[in-house]
Amino acid sequence: MRVYQFTEQPYYPAWTDHSGSLRVNLLNRKCDPHVASDLFHRYYDEWQMADELGLDIMLNEHHQTATCMSSTVVVGLSVLSRITKNARLLVLGYPIGHRPDPLRVAEELSTIDVISRGRLDMGFIKGVPYEFPASNQNPVGVMERFYEALDFIIKAMTTHDELFNWEGEYFHYRQVNVWPRVWQQPHPPIWTTTGSITQARILGERGYVMATLGSGYNTRPLYDAYRRGYVAKWHKAPGPDRFAYLGLVATAKDRDEARKRGDLVAGYLRSSSIVHLPFRNPPGFLSVEDNARLLRGQTPPRSYTKDHRVIDMRSASVEELIAAGILFCGTPDEVYDQIVDFCDYCGGMGNLLMMGHAGFLSHEQTVDNFQLFAREVYPRLKAWRQPDAEDVAAQAVEAAAKSAPAASARAGDLVDATITAH
């Protein structure tokens, strides 16, 4: 198993000083550039330490928000590709459906791959609902635009012996010839996120690494949909390395301190949804059918505990988050047991996206969290034997043949829109 350390690089001082919205319309007057600078340097220092401890690194971007200061992920990748040595650098994600210029994306990421000597993982995403007012891209049809951008980027990264032309529905280029060309062949690994059963199957067919966030004990149906898509296309089972899960992690030597840290890290979940209401669901982001259900006041539950209790991760307690597999929290032994138990439930999961810092967790707490995890949990996770991929995939295919997963598919599709696509 690989573990990627992730922080949203929050500007948390504003979390206690806003008028009901941390995103889109929280005025940047609230951002003190000196404080922001100190925070950036701290976060880079912590990632550098994660690299030294043998962890990999994940970073992302959001726009116009105090929840995440990284508004252009290429800057973070640029810094980290130079100051880290061994860590893989995962961007999850790059919201290419919003970008006016995917050629620029191909150039940026190829350069990062070369400077980092082949350490880049490319996660491409649709983006959360709040990104549309900031980018002004039309939320209607964004997935078409996303896939055209993705297809173009792959072609640009894998064409070496000729110039090519692109006159698509959304993008137009001539004489395409990206310098420098990518280090990893044929191109850096592609990752993406989803919470939708339908989309999970498509991702399986494409063979990308699929990540979910906050899906807790509702994750297995997504993974199984991916497995079915993968088996149908590739005639073999996807290994655990095709699956990633974003979990909050708070480790400490004693249980009480760990719970305190867990509560601070959960600040991410609690702050994430603080946004002016109209920006939460732009037109076209959800399907018409899902929007009709919302108009009727029907919102499916999003997160479940292992014993099928519904929780709202925006307001759940630390214990509830642990029970739901959203937060892995406790002593190193507890954290190991929780993660292994969850991976077993998933039928195998090979990439833990570890949110080991969020919100008000201090530098000292963050460093201690990383060190304990890296020294006392990670080695055991690496040694842990994943469930047999062929067995698990065969079960998934067989189960689907017996029953139609309509109900969970619908719930999953809404999950997609509200919390994923980080």
Contacts with other proteins by CB under 8 A lie at: 25, 133, 136-141, 169, 276-279, 282-284, 288-289, 291-292, 295-297
Minimum distance, C-beta of residue 221 to other proteins, in the bound complex (Å): 24
Residue with smaller CB distance to other proteins, 282 or 350: 282
Minimum distance, C-beta of residue 280 to other proteins, in the bound complex (Å): 11
Q: CB neighbours (10 Å) of residue 381?
A: 17
Residue with smaller CB distance to other proteins, 83 or 140: 140
Please tell me what DSSP assigns to residue 182.
P
Minimum distance, C-beta of residue 136 to other proteins, in the bound complex (Å): 5
In contact, 358 and 39? CB cutoff 8 Å: no
- Secondary structure E strands in 198-339: 209-213, 243-251, 303-304, 310-311, 327-330
Residue with smaller CB distance to other proteins, 283 or 301: 283
- Encoding tokens for residue 43? 């976060």
Minimum distance, C-beta of residue 100 to other proteins, in the bound complex (Å): 11
Minimum distance, C-beta of residue 298 to other proteins, in the bound complex (Å): 9
Q: CB neighbours (10 Å) of residue 28?
A: 11
Residue with smaller CB distance to other proteins, 291 or 371: 291
In contact, 57 and 120? CB cutoff 8 Å: no
Instruction: Give the Å distances, CA to CA, from 385 to 349, 388, 415.
Output: 11, 9, 30
Please tell me what DSSP assigns to residue 326.
S
Minimum distance, C-beta of residue 168 to other proteins, in the bound complex (Å): 12
For the chain, the farthest-separated pair of C-alpha atoms sits apart, in whole angstroms, at 61
Residue with smaller CB distance to other proteins, 163 or 288: 288
Alpha helices, DSSP H, located in 247-287: 255-265, 267-272
Residue with smaller CB distance to other proteins, 6 or 132: 132
% helix, strand, coil for the chain, step of 5: 50, 15, 35
Rg (CA), the chain: 20
Element (H, E) at 166: strand 164-167
Please tell me what DSSP assigns to residue 377.
I
- Encoding tokens for residue 325? 């597999």
Residue with smaller CB distance to other proteins, 144 or 391: 144
Minimum distance, C-beta of residue 289 to other proteins, in the bound complex (Å): 7
Please tell me what DSSP assigns to residue 112.
H
Backbone angles phi, psi at 401, to 5 degrees: -65, -30
Position 177, amino acid = N
In contact, 182 and 211? CB cutoff 8 Å: no
Residue with smaller CB distance to other proteins, 102 or 325: 102
Please tell me what DSSP assigns to residue 65.
B
Minimum distance, C-beta of residue 312 to other proteins, in the bound complex (Å): 22
Residue with smaller CB distance to other proteins, 139 or 359: 139
Minimum distance, C-beta of residue 283 to other proteins, in the bound complex (Å): 4
- Encoding tokens for residue 108? 């940026």
Residue with smaller CB distance to other proteins, 86 or 298: 298
Minimum distance, C-beta of residue 52 to other proteins, in the bound complex (Å): 45
Element (H, E) at 37: helix 33-52
Residues 6+ apart with CB under 8 A from 295: none
